[in-house]
């Protein structure tokens, strides 16, 4: 195996390769495009395309694709080969600047939420030069944005890039007030990814895992995660081999895979990369999920990225570690050492506090999916209530600001918000409050609500834009102030006082928290259908329009897509559930009952009592009767779907279809527990979770 530094990024057309392969002026002009977003000259684009193609072909590529992130949540690609016929009947490998910059995939089969009529099927993809092209499976992949022909966005990347511009523009304004000459501010993200790894053979025998990504049936095993012997435990050799292979593939693609360990649940693992610029982190996380799945296949595993593959066992999340930093290398969420840098830190902190409070609904929506509904609010993941944890040290500072007698700023001529110095906040990765959805961890915030399969773009679009809005308001106010120091002090004090309700340092899993949260007026949106109507609240439409991130029609289309996705997921789950009951579970129960009955009658003929069998048969028969009726009820619930709009349908799935599935599951799980092992038609939780 190559050494890691040689391996790292060897499949990426990164800056080092660009520098080596491009004429100096072309390199310079491309670098400028990457850093400032100015359009690339078509002549330059041709030279870049040709160099990219030569490099890719040298590295074994035969095809290229525009790689994009449509609203399906996964990535899409359509492969074209580089070949072009030459006059002598042979082929040459060709790739033009035009092909690099723009693609025209047929967009009709991607969700558009009513934005694009099918007769206008064309969409186009546009190169994102800030994210490096890479080679995957002999194909040169060019990261792109995806729009309809009329310019409406159809993907997750474009609004993310727009939200990054929005926060940059406003943060630069604020920093100017502190005398800082900064050109660009970027948000950074390090997404920690949880997943399950199970044996492929078990996976193949479970239609629920294959079709829905989670188990729809399965009684709790005698042993679960209660011994906590898996967390950070030593890694199974088979899994170790998988992880080594995974790391190699990720490193080749320039993905900074850093930490891996076992998680709390049996078979659950986590992978954390080193953080990077948000759009790159989002691209890399999408790639990471794909490579997790593929590498698992190679090693005889199935990788489950579902938020809750097993009931009664912890689900999987994706922690979105988020911060803001300048092009001069300053992390704006790092508390300062001097009163002046403290003042700046407190202003940015205040912006985040205000943003999380005012846009709780958007943060909740950004993680709302049918799968994640199983996690949020269960005793393992943060509750569905958005709140913020800033730690005892910062809380004390904030309390002093709001409640203390306003201390006069020291007469040093330095900027000072008038609180005692911010104590050194330890950067503790042991998660001091694991129950908080949005926790300050020393120099960044960790948003813990996202589910494991989520595309992190949406979360960061919400965060970036909401914080951009608060920074805009702050800049408006402070730019006009006669005495900047005094205006800053009063702004921070006023806003923290107004939004302090979002700060909660207690136990987010506690039974009393929902009541307390209600008293504070915080939202508690328990399910996806309950959360999604807030998407198009007037304040949210205004927010995104003001910062040029989404138009109103784009927002409405996204809301509709999310509702449809919820309905489709539940529809598939209900049908799978019904199918498994009719084809596997009920027939298995019938055979067991038949064998019992035959055994009983044979014993009786010989004059032997058959009390155990008789009681078992009675129990099984009664469960089967109940289950048969419950299967019918699932079918009935699906058939009675109301016809009016996606919101009503989503609520119907939540209120009527889920309870029907839950009821049948309860009976089926009870049946599993009282049936002979050889009769049960699929691997049990014990079989799946405790393989060797
Ligand atoms: P540490 O950074 O000390 O390892 P954690 O283990 O809590 O702390 O880090 C978890 C994740 O947070 C990692 O993916 C890490 O790269 C990321 N992270 C660290 N600093 C930042 C930052 N400034 N912005 C975004 N993510 C960050
Ligand atoms: Mg963490």
Quickly list DSSP for 419-457. SPPPPPPP--TT-S-TT-SEEE-SSSEEE---BTT--TH
Ligand 1: residue of 274, 275, 277, 438 to mutate (most ligand atoms within 8 A of CB) is 275
Q: Is the CB of 440 under 6 A from ligand 1?
A: no
Percentages helix, strand, coil for the chain (3-state, rounded to 5) are 50, 15, 35
Stretch 85-105: mean pLDDT: 84
Residue 445 CA to ligand 1 centre (angstroms) = 9
How many Cα neighbours within 13 Å face the side chain of 118?
Answer: 1
Q: Largest Cα–Cα distance of the chain, in whole Å?
A: 104
Burial 248-273 (b: 16+ CB within 10 A, else e): bbbbbbbbbbeebebbebbbbbbbbb
Confidence class for position 424, pLDDT limits 50, 70, 90: low
Please report, in angstroms and rounded to a whole number, the separation of the first and last CA atoms in the chain.
27
Could you tell me the CA-to-CA distances from 417 to 276, 488, 621 in Å, in that order? 31, 7, 73
Which residue owns the Cα nearest ligand 1 atom 4?
429
- Token pair for 178: 């502190």
Ligand 1: residue of 444, 456, 459 to mutate (most ligand atoms within 8 A of CB) is 444
Identify which has the larger pLDDT, 377 or 604: 604
Region of poorest pLDDT, from 136-140, 333-337, 436-440, 593-597: 333-337
Task: Please check whether residue 422 is in contact with residue 344, taking contact to mean a CB–CB distance below 8 angstroms.
Answer: no
- Judged against a pLDDT cut of 80, whether residue 645 lies above it is answered with yes
Residue 333 CA to ligand 2 centre (angstroms) = 17
Q: Is the CB of 335 under 6 A from ligand 1?
A: no
What tens digit of pLDDT does each residue of 464-508 get? 999 999 999 999 999 989 999 889 989 999 999 999 999 998 888
- Judged against a pLDDT cut of 80, whether residue 404 lies above it is answered with no
Q: What percent of the chain has pLDDT over 70?
A: 92
**CA–CA dist 541, 550 (Å, integer):** 8
Task: Please check whether residue 158 is in contact with residue 146, taking contact to mean a CB–CB distance below 8 angstroms.
Answer: yes
Q: Is the CB of 274 under 6 A from ligand 1?
A: yes
**CA–CA dist 474, 487 (Å, integer):** 10
Give the pLDDT confidence score for residue 265 in this predicted structure. 75
Q: Is the CB of 443 under 6 A from ligand 1?
A: yes
Residue 229 CA to ligand 1 centre (angstroms) = 26
Stretch 328-357: mean pLDDT: 91
What tens digit of pLDDT does each residue of 617-635 get? 999 999 999 999 999 999 9
Burial 412-431 (b: 16+ CB within 10 A, else e): eeebbbbbeebeebeeeeee
Q: Is the CB of 431 under 6 A from ligand 1?
A: no
What tens digit of pLDDT does each residue of 264-318 get? 778 999 999 999 999 999 999 999 999 999 999 999 999 999 999 999 989 999 9
What tens digit of pLDDT does each residue of 540-586 get? 999 999 999 999 999 999 999 999 999 999 999 999 999 999 999 99
Give the pLDDT confidence score for residue 72 in this predicted structure. 77
Across the chain, what does the average pLDDT equal? 90
For residue 321, the ligand 1 atom closest to its alpha carbon is 26
Give the pLDDT confidence score for residue 637 in this predicted structure. 98
**Ligand with the closest atom to the CA of 436:** 2
Q: What is the model's pTM?
A: 0.93
Give the pLDDT confidence score for residue 118 in this predicted structure. 45
Decide yes or no: CATH 3.10.20.70 for domain 4-154.
Answer: yes
Q: What percent of the chain has pLDDT over 90?
A: 70
User: CATH: 3.90.1640.30, 3.40.50.720, 3.30.460.10, 1.20.120.1560. Which one for 566-689?
Assistant: 1.20.120.1560
The set of residues, in sequence order, having a beta carbon less than 8 Å from that of 169 and lying 6+ positions away, is 468
What tens digit of pLDDT does each residue of 187-203 get? 999 999 999 999 999 99
**CA–CA dist 457, 477 (Å, integer):** 30
Q: Is the dihedral of CA 297, 299, 302, 307 positive or negative?
A: negative
Give the pLDDT confidence score for residue 119 in this predicted structure. 46
Confidence class for position 253, pLDDT limits 50, 70, 90: very high
Task: Please check whether residue 129 is in contact with residue 102, taking contact to mean a CB–CB distance below 8 angstroms.
Answer: no
Confidence class for position 640, pLDDT limits 50, 70, 90: very high
DSSP class of residue 679? G
Residue 491 CA to ligand 1 centre (angstroms) = 30
Give the pLDDT confidence score for residue 569 in this predicted structure. 97
Burial status of residue 364 (CB atoms within 10 A of its CB: 0-12, 13-18, 19 or more): buried
Region of poorest pLDDT, from 42-46, 160-164, 367-371, 464-468: 42-46
**CA–CA dist 528, 531 (Å, integer):** 5
Q: Is the CB of 559 under 6 A from ligand 1?
A: no
Name the β-bridge partners of 637.
none
Please count the residues of the chain.
Answer: 692
Residue 613 CA to ligand 1 centre (angstroms) = 59
For residue 191, the ligand 1 atom closest to its alpha carbon is 14
SS3 138: coil
Of 272, 519, 191, nearest to 387 by C-alpha is 519
β pairing state of 388-389 and 438-440: parallel
Give the pLDDT confidence score for residue 121 in this predicted structure. 62
DSSP class of residue 585? I
- Judged against a pLDDT cut of 70, whether residue 397 lies above it is answered with yes
Q: Is the CB of 188 under 6 A from ligand 1?
A: yes
**CA–CA dist 375, 230 (Å, integer):** 20
SS3 516: helix
**CA–CA dist 580, 681 (Å, integer):** 10
Confidence class for position 430, pLDDT limits 50, 70, 90: very low
Burial status of residue 207 (CB atoms within 10 A of its CB: 0-12, 13-18, 19 or more): middle
Neighbours of 148 (CB within 10 A): 20
How many Cα neighbours within 13 Å face the side chain of 374?
Answer: 23
Give the pLDDT confidence score for residue 297 in this predicted structure. 96
Region of poorest pLDDT, from 57-61, 101-105, 633-637, 659-663: 101-105
The set of residues, in sequence order, having a beta carbon less than 8 Å from that of 684 and lying 6+ positions away, is 218, 219, 221, 672, 677
Q: Where are the domains of the chain?
A: 4-154, 156-192+319-410+424-550, 566-689
Confidence class for position 92, pLDDT limits 50, 70, 90: confident
- Judged against a pLDDT cut of 80, whether residue 426 lies above it is answered with no
Identify which has the larger pLDDT, 111 or 211: 211
Of 281, 233, 285, 202, nearest to 685 by C-alpha is 202
């Amino acid at each position: 195996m190559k050494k890691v530094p040689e391996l790292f990024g060897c499949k990426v057309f990164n800056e080092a390769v660009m520098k080596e392969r491009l004429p100096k002026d072309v390199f310079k002009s491309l670098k400028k495009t990457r850093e400032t977003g100015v359009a690339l000259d078509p002549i330059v684009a041709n030279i870049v395309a040709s160099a990219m193609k030569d490099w890719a072909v040298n590295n074994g590529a035969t095809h290229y694709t525009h790689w994009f992130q449509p609203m399906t949540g996964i990535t899409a690609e359509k492969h074209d080969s580089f070949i072009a016929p030459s006059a002598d009947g042979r082929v040459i490998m060709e790739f033009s600047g035009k092909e690099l910059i723009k693609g025209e995939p047929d967009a009709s089969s991607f969700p558009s939420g009513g934005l694009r009529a099918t007769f206008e099927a064309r969409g186009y993809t546009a190169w994102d030069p800030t994210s490096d092209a890479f080679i995957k499976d002999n194909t040169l992949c060019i990261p792109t944005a995806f729009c309809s022909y009329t310019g409406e966005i159809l993907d997750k990347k474009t609004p993310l890039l727009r939200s990054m511009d929005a926060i940059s523009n406003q943060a630069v304004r604020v920093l100017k007030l502190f005398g800082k000459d900064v050109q660009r501010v970027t948000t950074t993200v390090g997404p920690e990814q949880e997943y399950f790894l199970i044996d492929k053979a078990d996976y193949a025998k479970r239609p629920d895992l294959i079709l829905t990504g989670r188990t729809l049936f399965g009684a709790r095993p005698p042993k679960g995660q209660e011994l906590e012997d898996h967390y950070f435990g030593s890694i199974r050799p088979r899994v170790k081999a998988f992880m080594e292979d995974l790391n190699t593939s990720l490193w080749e693609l320039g993905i900074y895979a850093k930490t891996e360990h076992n998680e709390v649940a049996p078979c659950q693992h986590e992978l954390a990369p080193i953080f990077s610029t948000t759009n790159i982190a989002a691209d890399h996380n999408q790639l990471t999920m794909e490579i997790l799945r593929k590498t698992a296949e190679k090693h005889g595993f199935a990788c489950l990225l579902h938020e809750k593959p097993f009931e009664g066992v912890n689900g999987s999340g994706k922690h979105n570690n988020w911060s803001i930093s300048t092009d001069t290398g300053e992390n704006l969420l790092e508390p300062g050492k001097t009163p002046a840098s403290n003042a700046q830190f407190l202003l940015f902190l205040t912006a985040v506090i205000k943003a999380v409070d005012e846009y709780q609904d958007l943060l909740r929506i950004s993680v709302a999916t049918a799968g994640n509904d199983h996690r949020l609010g269960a005793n393992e993941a943060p509750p569905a209530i958005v709140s913020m944890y800033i730690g005892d040290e910062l809380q004390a500072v904030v309390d002093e600001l709001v409640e203390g007698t306003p201390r006069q700023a020291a007469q040093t001529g330095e900027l000072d918000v008038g609180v005692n110095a911010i104590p050194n906040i330890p950067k503790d990765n042991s998660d001091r409050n694991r129950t908080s959805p949005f926790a300050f961890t020393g120099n960044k915030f960790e948003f813990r609500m996202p589910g494991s399969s989520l595309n992190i773009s949406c979360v960061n679009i919400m965060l970036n834009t909401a914080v951009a809005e608060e920074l805009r308001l702050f800049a408006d106010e402070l730019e006009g102030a006669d005495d900047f120091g005094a205006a800053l002090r009063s702004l921070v004090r006023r806003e923290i006082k107004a939004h302090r309700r979002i700060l909660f340092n207690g136990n987010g899993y506690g039974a009393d928290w929902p009541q307390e949260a209600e008293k504070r007026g915080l939202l508690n949106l328990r399910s996806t259908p309950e959360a999604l109507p807030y998407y198009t609240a007037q304040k949210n439409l205004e927010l995104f329009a003001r910062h040029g991130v989404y138009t109103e029609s784009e927002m409405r289309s996204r809301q509709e897509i999310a509702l449809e996705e919820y309905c489709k997921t539940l529809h598939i789950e209900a049908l799978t559930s019904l199918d498994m009951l009719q084809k596997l579970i009920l027939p298995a129960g019938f055979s067991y009952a038949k064998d019992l009955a035959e055994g009983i009658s044979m014993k009786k003929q010989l004059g032997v009592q058959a009390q155990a069998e008789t009681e078992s048969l009675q129990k099984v028969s009664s469960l089967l009767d109940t289950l048969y009726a419950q299967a019918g009820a699932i079918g009935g619930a699906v058939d009675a779907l109301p016809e009016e709009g996606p919101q009503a349908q989503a609520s119907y799935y939540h209120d009527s279809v889920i309870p029907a599935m839950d009821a049948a599951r309860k009976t089926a799980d009870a049946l599993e527990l009282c049936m002979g092992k050889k009769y049960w038609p699929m691997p049990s939780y014990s079989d799946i979770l405790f393989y060797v």
